[in-house]
Amino acid sequence: MKIAISLLWIRHNVSGGVESYTRNLLDGFVSAPDNNEYVLICSEDNADSFESYTNDKRFNLVRCPVYSNQVEKTILYENTKLDKLVSSLGADFCFVPSERMPLWGVNNRYLIVCHDIQFYHLPQYFNWVKAKWLIYACKRWAKKAEHIVTITNCVKDDIVKNIGADARKISVIYNPILPNMEMEDFGNIEHKYGIRKNEYYYCVAAMLEHKNLLTILKTMAVIKREGIKELPHKLLISGAVYDNEYTHRVQQFIIDEGLGNDCISTGYLSNAERNALMKNARAFLFPSTFEGFGMPPIEALQMGTPVITTKCAAIPEVTKGKAVYVDDPYNENEWLDKMRDEKVFKREPLVFEEYNTEVITRKYLDLFSEFNKINN
């Protein structure tokens, strides 16, 4: 098979979980002993970051004259040029590892992946026009795509209920999680952030409201204010920092509560540094109130780091009951109680075979083969 893969919307070091998923899956295709040809359709700004895949002779790369952060231009290109490009490549179909595809004049077959419909549940992140467009586009691709993959049963149920997608053409395939054991020397980390092993909490989250970082900061403020000695007073947060109203609220709260030396936002980190922080924390905190999947808590559990998280959206499904869960994600007193839970003091690396990259890759390759067979 010759498979076109549209990566036009993957913004390097910005797309977060979708980028991690995409790269893990591409790594799986590289390792798989198949005879498929893959053509990576990239934007000008992300092509260099995918260039290394062409070291495998089965992979080729096409650089398109658009930038992934120029939304209107990329939408225009996708709807006027992408389908013609797929035809010119002679691809059997186009695989899109995100919720995008041409909406009109489609002559090729598209298999797309839906990670979530955040815009439906959290419209406050979008201006009115963009929110309406995304809902329209989602309903359109739900009809036009020949097959849809959702990354959890939670997302499948969501798009069937709220978007009207046909459950008969949806497959559920979990995200591949490639264990990354790059590890920065913790001595360097200690010196850089003024922390000690097992005496801090760690969180990976962007500065967005649904990530619920303010609740964790309120919890840390209580620990400091009440002088709770048995719990760490340090918190490190890694992830994208946006110039938005929520970031300003978070920063102002840190100032008002005098947490500047105890709660540190690191921004993006290398895998090696992030892994070292995750492995040596007292616990990994994941307070998110909306996730289509949520890789970080699984990565922490794989390292043996206890995880405290919520019961929101897909989080219970993907963590398989192995974390410590709060019932009310906004209640700092409940977070305090869970920080004292005996499970938080047990460190045991866990294995999740359902996220094994080789297993997930095989599911995708089998789906590709079946999809191509049915439609030829």
**Of residues 152 and 17, more confidently modeled:** 152
376 confidence band (pLDDT: 50, 70, 90): low
Residue 341 in this model has a pLDDT that exceeds 60: yes
Which residues, 6 or more positions from 172, have their beta carbon under 8 angstroms from its beta carbon? 149, 150, 151, 152, 153, 156
Q: What is the pLDDT of residue 139?
A: 95
Using a 10 angstrom Cβ sphere, with 0-12 exposed, 13-18 middle and 19 or more buried, the burial of residue 148 is buried
- Say what the pTM is: 0.92
Token reading at 144:
């036009």
Token reading at 19:
């980028």
Q: φ and ψ at 264, to 5 degrees?
A: -120, 125
Identity of residue 285? L
pLDDT tens-place string over residues 261-298: 999 999 889 889 999 999 999 999 999 999 999 999 99
Question: Which percentage of the chain shows pLDDT scores above 90?
Answer: 81
Q: What is the pLDDT of residue 17?
A: 75
Domains of the chain: 2-176+356-374 (3.40.50.2000), 186-353 (3.40.50.2000)
pLDDT tens-place string over residues 87-145: 999 999 999 998 899 999 899 999 999 999 999 999 888 888 888 999 999 999 999 99
In 10 A of CB 134, how many CB atoms? Answer: 17
pLDDT tens-place string over residues 362-374: 999 999 999 888 7
pLDDT tens-place string over residues 21-80: 999 999 999 999 889 999 999 999 999 999 999 999 999 999 999 998 898 999 999 999
Using a 10 angstrom Cβ sphere, with 0-12 exposed, 13-18 middle and 19 or more buried, the burial of residue 139 is middle
